[in-house]
Structures are given as structure tokens and as C-alpha cells.
Amino acid sequence: MTTLDFAQILHDRIDARRNGALDVRSRLQHFALINYALPKERLARYIPEDRFEIPEFEIDGKPMALMSAVPFYDSDFHFIHLFPFLRFAFGQTNYRAYVIDRATGEHAVWFFGTTLGSPLVNIPVWLWKIPWHNAKYKIDCEYSREDHRYRRYAMSIRSEWASAEIDIEDTGDGLILESGFESEEAMALILTHPVDGFFYRDDKRLGTYSVWHKAIRMTRGKAKNLYFSLYECLGLLSRAEMQQPHSIFLCPETEFRVYLPPYALPESA
């Protein structure tokens, strides 16, 4: 795929905003995208490869797959049309791998699951059987608007399903072309702008939902201390490997639209 193709697809994704009765809008604060490179074989047993391809990227001379942990704080989660006066705030972390949907050829993400720092987590789990899990969040972040960088970025997350310790240094520098990518458009499309997510529902069927957001202005971070219990338990990363992410991107605030409800794919899909 050429740079021009990536640029056009990225433009189309940003331009294609929909409007549904159950859509959610949320202001995401302290948004971090923590990417890891790992051998494809480690991921393959967790992702249905009959439906999804696990793309590989040449990183440090080796073909590697990519996955991420994405922590943030939902500061203004609300349904746009349904009871818009009801607003919620909570910490959230998405655990995901980068895949290609064989049905469409589009770059997307596979969700291992999500932690949510609110009792509200039980409602979507009950309604839609999505793999969300309760967690307790301690967020210690200080952003300097004068310096356009974080003076401090730290989170401590406690969950029976997936705990995490996150301590990041914000360089304040803009993004560069990271290893494995031939263009900024390709990197943005694959890492920061996958709009379709897929997952195993609690009933083991494949589920999906989509999001929309504008281009995200981000700075580069450096790992001071990172630990994600889920990735250790799944055998995807060792504690030592977690200290060496492929890349870290930080954004103090952005806005997402989530298209709800999630739905199960047909059994034959």
C-alpha cells in the first residue's frame, strides 16, 4: 500500500462521522498510547486468524507484531441524544493488538479487554457482553500548558483482571516516524486512528464496535516504569520487556465519539 493510499484512508476516516441515537461523546484526558513490538507467534493464539491478519513490521531488522495499552481518564462521558444531562467520569485502560480485518482489508484493533474505574462497568457487560472489568484508579498527572508537556504522568490501577503501574516522562517533543513505518500517514492510520475494534464477547461470539475522532496532537514519552499484569499473565511480555516499549504517545485532552451499541458478528463472519 502506498503513502498516498494511507493518506486517503486516514482522511476518509476523519471525515466519515456518523450520528446514531445511542452515540456517546467523551472527553479523554491524560491519553497515553503505549505500544509494544513482539513476535507475531505470541499473539496468534489469542486472535482468530481466520478472520484477522496480524501484520508484521520491520523493527530493528526483525518482523514484529504490535500491540498497545491505552490508559486515559474519561472526564465527560455522556450519551449525546439519550439523557445528555447524565455525565460520568472514570479511569479506563484498553488492551489491544493491531490487526487487519480480512473481511474488509482495513487496519483495526483486537481488544483483549478493558478496565473501567466505575460501577457503571456492569451495565455494558450485562447488556452487550463486552469484555470490560472493574478496576480502581489512582491518577497522578500534572500537565503544564505553558511548557506543552506533562510535568508528571503516573497511574496505578488495581484490578483482579488486569492491574497496571504507569510512570512516563513526557519529552515535550512532537512525534517522529517510528521504526516499522514508511510514512507518517501509515503510522497515524495504524497506531492512532484505528476506528473499528473487535473482541470476544462473554458468550465467545465475535463482537465489534466503532469510534470516531479527529487527528490527535501528541508528544513522545519515555518509560520510567511500566507494568501490565495482563500481558505478563498471557505470556505476551516479560516485566523487562515492558520497560522497552516501541513507542509512547501522550495527549492531555482529546474527544472521542463511540458508536453504540456494540453488536455480535454473524456466526459465519
Identify the domain containing residue 24 by its residue range.
3-43+56-96+111-261
Q: How confident is the model at residue 1 (pLDDT cuts 50, 70, 90)?
A: very low
State the alpha helices, DSSP H only, in 104-167: 122-128
For cell 465519539, the residue is 257
* 48 lies in some domain: no
Domain with residue 197: its CATH number is 2.40.400
State the pLDDT at residue 102.
96
* 104 lies in some domain: no
Stronger pLDDT, 85 or 146, i.e. the higher one: 146
The residue type found at 94 is: N
Domain total in the chain: 1
* 266 lies in some domain: no
* 102 lies in some domain: no
Give yes or no for residue 7 having a pLDDT over 90.
no
Give yes or no for residue 262 having a pLDDT over 90.
yes
* 51 lies in some domain: no
Dist. CA 199–CA 265, nearest whole Å: 10
* 175 lies in some domain: yes
> Could you read off the pLDDT of 165-189 as tens digits, one per residue?
999 999 999 999 999 999 999 999 9
* 163 lies in some domain: yes
* 141 lies in some domain: yes
Beta-carbon contacts of residue 134 (< 8 Å; ≥ 6 apart): 115, 116, 117, 118, 119, 121, 122, 159
State the pLDDT at residue 268.
62
Dist. CA 75–CA 94, nearest whole Å: 16
Count of CB atoms situated within 10 Å of the CB of 71: 24
> Could you read off the pLDDT of 82-104 as tens digits, one per residue?
888 889 999 999 999 999 999 99
